[in-house]
Amino acid sequence: MESVSFKWLFLSFLFLSSAHSALCTVDGVNGGKVRGVNLGNWLVIEGWMKPSLFDGIINEDMLDGAKVQFKSLSTKKYVCAEEGGDSGVVTVDREKASGWETFRLWRVSPSEYQLRSFKGQFLSCAGQGASVTAISGLPSLKETFTIERSGNGRVRIKHSSGIYIQASSGNNLKADYVGTPAFDDGNAAIFEMTFDGGRLQGEYQLSNGHGPEKAKQVLTEHRNSYITREDFQFLSQNGINTVRIPVGWWITKDPNPPAPYVGGGLAALDNAFKWAQEFGMKCIIDLHAAPGSQNGMDHSSSRDGFIEWTKSDNIQQSLDAIQFLAAKYGSDPSLVGIELLNEPHSPEVPLDTVLNYYKDGYNIVRKHSATAYVIMSQMIGPGDPADIYKANTGKSNVVLDLHYYNLYDDKFNNMSTQENIDFLYNTRKTQMDSLKSADGPLVFIGEWVNEFGRGGSQEDYQNFGRAQLDVYGSASFGWAYWSFKNVQQHWSLEWNINNNYLQL
């Protein structure tokens, strides 16, 4: 009796194991699961990954989205948009600078700018003798100023009417200076300009900074050399079976996307599909940059850091982009999935808005492919990935994408290598295991990197990398490394492989 019971249990175990294995098989992917890499900084620029792309831009520190503050040399007070701009009143009366005293640049030319307040209104002036206000929602000529710099951080600001602005009586800011001010101490038309925090280095900043002709040259050379057929061959030879390809919404307007973007990205994406087919690999198209920006970061091609994806018709434009991509690539044998949106930010983007978008996006993809996986990114900021996992966003071949970095949180700064590894098993794996359901979405670790808070020796990285491969390898859909190439060496899968830091 005992031997029969044991045999029955053993056969049951084999059956359940094979059934579980079948549930975790990704259709069409060699090996049954995605072992992927992100082709980051190729079709959506992230300047930190290749800073040299920005070489040659005049006033490179004053690209779109740079945060600036202005201190009057005469009054020693800061320019302020009262109530962050909501009141419309602009004063020069603050001892210290914070949010209301900080303005984000919109670059018109290397010397001409529009200045956006904390709440989104633009500084505006009616012309000679008029006060500067913050009442405009859409910038035009009245909201355009020339910023003239000296070599010591001092600037003078000329309104488009040709009149310089100055700190006037009553703490007002007016366009009423007569003549051209010298950069003298105490001059009411001279300000000290300082920068607040880091700057954005996305595709918007690159293209608008270089201008249309130079941007086209820079981006064409970059797209043709950064990712090549030989790279796909290298990846295939090293066990990578999938590439996740971040794209921006403007790729759907190729060959003539709206300014400042330049065409050519769609031809590069076509090449990726061709090379993937040649080497038996699959492609995931990832809408990384949506109109209006879903997270305010440079990798979403935000102009100035504001999150405005939910405004105007940006969500519909995003769905139109999914429609374009699904129609063009839905029947391509190299397509394995379409990711509807990368890293929407909570709470600026409400959960219900994202879920409705995911449902609509799923239905669009299904019109063009019955089998392509529809991938939903987790939200960043406050929130629980389980909220998206449990939502009824689609009926078949749905995937939840989680991004795991042992970075960006103070708790990782002083963790030892072993503590980082323990965190993978005790926290990451626990969360992954909790997101398992026979009829629920598959789980995809769509971004991770062989880097951790305090770093370590080559052996430390090998051990940490091995643990990540073990933990993320248990994800039902698979994983994708961020990224293939990067001047930051540990972020480059190519460098990790060539230097034996990550042992696939």
Catalytic residues: 343, 447
Residue with tokens 């005293």: 101
* CA-based torsion, 262, 264, 269, 270: positive or negative: positive
DSSP helix/strand/coil, 496 = helix
Measuring CA to CA, which residue among 296, 200, 299, 287 is closest to residue 246? Answer: 287
Phi-psi region of 368 (alpha: psi -120 to 50; beta: other; left: phi over 0): alpha
| β-pair type (103-107, 67-72) | antiparallel
DSSP helix/strand/coil, 385 = helix
Displacement of CA 245 from its chain's centroid (Å): 13
Q: Report how far apart, in Å, the C-alpha atoms of 338 and of each of 81, 283, 397 are.
A: 43, 9, 11
Q: Report how far apart, in Å, the C-alpha atoms of 419 and of each of 411, 422, 460 are.
A: 11, 5, 11
* CA-based torsion, 88, 93, 96, 102: positive or negative: positive
| β-pair type (122-124, 133-136) | antiparallel
Displacement of CA 41 from its chain's centroid (Å): 10
